[in-house]
């Protein structure tokens, strides 16, 4: 049960509470779901690979947690209100809603091609979102957290964000480097400044609330420097959720958008579901939207008396020419272009494996191609094809019964266990690159194991001992491939299915980790099906 009452002072105003009486790490008794979110994407345009970067990483995490047997809820969606979307719609000569309806399928089709396994897709124009958002705004207004004032200052339409005049250099937005507009409006304000102390206390008592640490320090410094109240309504345009007590105003798009994380899981409509799911375990975001998620969002939740998300993780940018890849910079590359060439697995593997998740990384086609050929075509793809070729020619395509394990097989089993542990550690640390490197090292170790055992030599030796040894070596190599099919399934679901089909196994492992990784689980007698190369080598395209 949530305990909003415990958070209120006698006045009913949260900002008059004594500090830290409210349970920062309030754990709902009934939460039974690992809840993971991506940002919801603006529908001013179609996705580029910078957007897909967030979503692929989140999908990897969601799939891993499912593989561990956890109940997972993975949410994504679209942010459809605000000036930026209204302007895009007007430029296309459409009403904003019609424009959003037209663009949303473009996002969904990219997610489908990328094998994004979201459990729900929320659109902020849906009634299930707008109704509770209005209700919460009314609550904040009624309890005195919202007041009418005048806003005057810079605003960046591209980020839909208000800035301090001191943050603007040469009239340009610090993130987009495009001109800001000067707004002067009567707006409703949310008393963000009243939450300053409690936010600081949050970052201090829950140091991993914001990660990586550099981002936490950045947020802490920003909040310590003093918070201004937040303008939470706009009157100069009408595309947004109407402010219920004063419909001449629409809600500031960020205040509306952030609430998708609760409305999508039943806030204001299905309390039982909400309590099973909320708080989010991870909000995965890009660093450009850190303040909204690490400052505004927890303050709104504090005001609402709701538990706070457990972690906000802000990754870096995909850059082109040293700058954030973006539509504004005209550097957005369509995921389709890369998908056509690399397929979903090559695509996912590259973005998960290359670069450090919390830091910026330059996009490089050459690096992507090199990574694909080195890791996927050579190390993994060759391992699968050479092993299955040998099972086919030496054992008629039937996995042989292994003989006694030697030190080499014991070592290979250990390598598999290390790969699994490395995957766990990498996910835990939100380090997909480390996680995948650990798994790929099992493919490399298996190739070495085969090279050293030289089954092609054993096959030429007619003695029963050599035949038995050959069976052991090919069984063990095939078992290692089975383990790889499980360990790689969160990163490369389609390749995992393809490999498993060749091993004569069901496409998806349904038993959770670690059960699915018991060494020797592969049944001797299984008929393998040597198919096409799992990762055909690629040449650079003109
Ligand atoms: N609508 C808001 C988010 C609201 S969440 C309640 C928004 N949308 S966005 O479409 O502009 O960006 C969504 C996400 O894409 C952000 O996490 C942003 O960091 C990410 N990226 C957009 N371009 C990117 C790169 N070039 N590199 C990495 N991520 C980038 O902001």
Q: Measured between alpha carbons, how far is residue 491 from residues 67, 285, 362, 402, 521 in Å?
A: 11, 19, 21, 30, 22
| Protein residue with least CA distance to atom 19, ligand 1 | 286
* Of 254, 289, 330, best ligand 1 pocket probe by most atoms within 8 Å of the beta carbon: 289
Specify whether the CB–CB gap between 445 and 379 falls below 8 A: no
CA torsion, ordered 195, 201, 207, 213, to nearest 10 deg? 60
| Protein residue with least CA distance to atom 9, ligand 1 | 41
Q: Measured between alpha carbons, how far is residue 273 from residues 56, 266, 268 in Å?
A: 26, 6, 10
The whole-number average pLDDT for the span 135-159 is: 94
Region for residue 424 given its phi and psi (left: phi exceeds 0; alpha: psi -120 to 50; beta: otherwise) = alpha
pLDDT band at 28 (very low <50, low <70, confident <90, very high): low
Percent of the chain with pLDDT over 70: 94
Best CA proximity match to 455, nearest among 435, 477, 438 = 477
Percent of the chain with pLDDT over 90: 84
Find the catalytic residue in 48, 73, 249, 287: 48
How, if at all, do strands 233-234 and 323-324 pair?
unpaired
Q: Is 219 in the pocket of ligand 1 (CB under 6 A)?
A: no
Query: Which atom of ligand 1 sits closest to the CA of residue 260?
Result: 6
Q: Is 363 in the pocket of ligand 1 (CB under 6 A)?
A: no
Q: Is 180 helix (H, G, I), strand (E, B) or coil?
A: coil
| Protein residue with least CA distance to atom 18, ligand 1 | 286
- Phi first, then psi, for residue 480 (nearest 5°) are -65, -40
Specify whether the CB–CB gap between 306 and 262 falls below 8 A: yes
Q: Is 152 helix (H, G, I), strand (E, B) or coil?
A: strand
CA of 291 to the centre of ligand 1 (A): 13
The whole-number average pLDDT for the span 438-467 is: 98
Residue 159 a catalytic site member: yes
Residue 164: pLDDT over 90: no
Q: Quote the tokens at residue 166.
A: 């001191």
pLDDT band at 542 (very low <50, low <70, confident <90, very high): low
pLDDT tens-digit readout, 381-408: 999 999 999 999 999 999 999 999 999 9
Q: Quote the tokens at residue 160.
A: 């839909």
Q: Is 309 in the pocket of ligand 1 (CB under 6 A)?
A: no
CA of 159 to the centre of ligand 1 (A): 9
pLDDT tens-digit readout, 212-227: 999 999 999 999 999 9
Q: Is 146 in the pocket of ligand 1 (CB under 6 A)?
A: no
Q: Is 289 in the pocket of ligand 1 (CB under 6 A)?
A: yes
What DSSP state is assigned to residue 358?
A: T
Per-residue model confidence (pLDDT) at position 320: 85
Find the catalytic residue in 156, 249, 287, 315: 156
Residue 20 CB: number of other CB atoms within 10 A?
A: 12
The whole-number average pLDDT for the span 259-284 is: 97
pTM: 0.93
Residue 324 a catalytic site member: yes
206 forms beta bridges with: none
Per-residue model confidence (pLDDT) at position 264: 98
Find the catalytic residue in 176, 283, 293, 415: 176
Specify whether the CB–CB gap between 381 and 509 falls below 8 A: no
Per-residue model confidence (pLDDT) at position 3: 31
Find the catalytic residue in 129, 159, 283, 287: 159
CA distance 238 to 167: 27
Residue 541: pLDDT over 90: no
Residue 259 CB: number of other CB atoms within 10 A?
A: 26
Region for residue 82 given its phi and psi (left: phi exceeds 0; alpha: psi -120 to 50; beta: otherwise) = left
CA distance 326 to 84: 14
Per-residue model confidence (pLDDT) at position 326: 82
Per-residue model confidence (pLDDT) at position 10: 29
| Protein residue with least CA distance to atom 25, ligand 1 | 50
pLDDT tens-digit readout, 167-207: 898 899 988 888 998 888 899 999 999 999 999 999 999 99
pLDDT tens-digit readout, 35-87: 999 999 999 999 999 999 999 999 999 999 999 999 999 999 999 999 999 99
Residue 176 a catalytic site member: yes
pLDDT band at 329 (very low <50, low <70, confident <90, very high): confident
pLDDT band at 29 (very low <50, low <70, confident <90, very high): confident
How, if at all, do strands 34-42 and 72-79 pair?
parallel
* Of 46, 47, 50, best ligand 1 pocket probe by most atoms within 8 Å of the beta carbon: 50
* Residue count of the chain: 542
Residue 16: pLDDT over 60: no
* Of 51, 56, 257, best ligand 1 pocket probe by most atoms within 8 Å of the beta carbon: 51
Average pLDDT, the chain: 92
pLDDT band at 159 (very low <50, low <70, confident <90, very high): confident
CA distance 186 to 152: 9
CA distance 89 to 134: 24
Residue 48 a catalytic site member: yes
Find the catalytic residue in 173, 283, 287, 315: 173
Query: Please, what is the angle between helix 464-487 and helix 493-502, to 10°?
Result: 150
Q: Is 41 in the pocket of ligand 1 (CB under 6 A)?
A: yes
Specify whether the CB–CB gap between 149 and 374 falls below 8 A: no
* Of 48, 79, 81, 158, best ligand 1 pocket probe by most atoms within 8 Å of the beta carbon: 79
**Which residues are within 8 A (CB) of 104 and not within 5 positions of it... i.e. 6 or more apart?**
43, 78, 123
| Protein residue with least CA distance to atom 7, ligand 1 | 41
| Protein residue with least CA distance to atom 10, ligand 1 | 41
Q: Is 82 in the pocket of ligand 1 (CB under 6 A)?
A: no
Q: Measured between alpha carbons, how far is residue 353 from residues 163, 346, 433, 491, 532 in Å?
A: 35, 10, 4, 9, 24
CA distance 443 to 85: 46
Residue 25: pLDDT over 70: no
Per-residue model confidence (pLDDT) at position 5: 29
Cα dihedral sign, 27-32-34-36: negative
Residue 156 a catalytic site member: yes
What DSSP state is assigned to residue 241?
A: P
Query: Which atom of ligand 1 sits closest to the CA of residue 325?
Result: 26
Specify whether the CB–CB gap between 92 and 103 falls below 8 A: no
Residue 51 a catalytic site member: yes
Residue 91: pLDDT over 70: yes
Buried b (16+ CB within 10 A) or exposed e, 94-112: eebeebbeebbeebeebbe
Residue 534: pLDDT over 60: yes
Q: Is 257 in the pocket of ligand 1 (CB under 6 A)?
A: yes
Please name the residue that has the structure tokens 């009452």. 5
| Protein residue with least CA distance to atom 24, ligand 1 | 50
Specify whether the CB–CB gap between 121 and 148 falls below 8 A: no
Best CA proximity match to 477, nearest among 412, 381, 411 = 412
**Which residues are within 8 A (CB) of 262 and not within 5 positions of it... i.e. 6 or more apart?**
132, 268, 274, 278, 306
Find the catalytic residue in 84, 283, 315, 327: 327
Query: Which atom of ligand 1 sits closest to the CA of residue 318?
Result: 27
305 forms beta bridges with: none
Residue 85 CB: number of other CB atoms within 10 A?
A: 27
The whole-number average pLDDT for the span 357-375 is: 95
């Amino acid at each position: 049960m949530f305990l909003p009452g415990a958070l209120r002072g006698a006045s009913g105003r949260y900002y008059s509470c004594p500090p830290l009486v409210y349970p920062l790490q309030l754990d709902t008794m009934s939460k039974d779901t690992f809840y993971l979110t991506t940002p919801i994407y603006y529908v001013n345009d179609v996705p580029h690979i910078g957007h897909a970067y967030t979503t692929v990483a989140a999908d990897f995490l969601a799939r891993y947690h499912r593989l561990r047997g956890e109940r997972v809820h993975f949410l994504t969606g679209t942010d459809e209100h605000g000036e930026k979307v209204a302007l895009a719609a007007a430029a296309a000569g459409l009403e904003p809603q019609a424009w959003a309806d037209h663009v949303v399928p473009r996002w969904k089709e990219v997610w489908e091609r990328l094998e994004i396994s979201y459990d729900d897709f929320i659109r902020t124009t849906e009634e299930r979102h707008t109704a509770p958002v209005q209700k919460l705004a009314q609550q904040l207004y009624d309890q005195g957290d919202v007041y009418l004032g005048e806003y005057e200052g810079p605003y960046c339409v591209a980020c839909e964000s208000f800035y301090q005049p001191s943050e603007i250099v040469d009239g340009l937005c610090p993130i987009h480097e495009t001109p800001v507009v000067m707004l002067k409006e009567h707006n409703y304000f949310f008393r963000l400044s009243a939450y300053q102390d409690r936010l600081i206390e949050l970052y201090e008592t829950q140091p991993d609330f914001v990660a990586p640490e550099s981002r936490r320090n950045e947020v802490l410094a920003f909040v310590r420097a003093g918070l201004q109240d937040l303008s939470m309504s706009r009157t100069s345009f009408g595309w947004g959720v109407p402010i219920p007590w004063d419909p001449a105003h629409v809600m500031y798009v960020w205040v509306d958008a952030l609430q998708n994380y609760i409305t999508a899981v039943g806030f204001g409509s299905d309390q039982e579901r909400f309590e099973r799911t909320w708080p989010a375990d991870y909000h995965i975001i890009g660093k450009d939207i850190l303040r909204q998620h690490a400052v505004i969002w927890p303050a709104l939740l504090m005001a609402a008396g709701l538990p706070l998300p457990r972690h906000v993780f802000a990754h870096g940018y995909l850059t082109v020419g040293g700058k954030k890849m973006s539509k504004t910079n005209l550097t957005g590359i369509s995921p389709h272009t890369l998908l056509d060439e690399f397929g979903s697995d090559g695509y996912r593997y590259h973005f998960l494996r290359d670069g450090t998740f919390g830091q910026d990384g330059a996009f490089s086609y050459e690096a992507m191609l090199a990574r694909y050929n080195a890791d996927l075509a050579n190390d993994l793809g060759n391992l699968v094809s050479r092993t299955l070729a040998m099972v086919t020619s030496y054992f008629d395509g039937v996995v042989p019964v292994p003989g006694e394990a030697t030190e080499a097989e014991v070592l290979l089993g250990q390598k598999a266990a290390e790969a699994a542990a490395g995957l766990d550690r990498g996910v835990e640390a939100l380090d997909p690159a480390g996680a995948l490197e650990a798994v790929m090292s099992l493919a490399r170790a298996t190739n070495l194991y085969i090279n050293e055992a030289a089954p092609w030599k054993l096959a030429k030796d007619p003695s029963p001992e050599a035949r038995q040894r050959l069976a052991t070596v090919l069984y063990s190599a095939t078992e290692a491939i089975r383990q790889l099919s499980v360990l790689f399934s969160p990163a490369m679901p389609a390749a995992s299915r393809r490999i498993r089909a060749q091993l004569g196994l069901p496409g998806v492992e349904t038993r959770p980790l670690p059960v699915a990784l018991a060494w020797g689980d592969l049944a001797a007698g299984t008929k393998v099906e040597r198919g096409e190369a799992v990762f055909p080598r690629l040449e650079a395209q003109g």
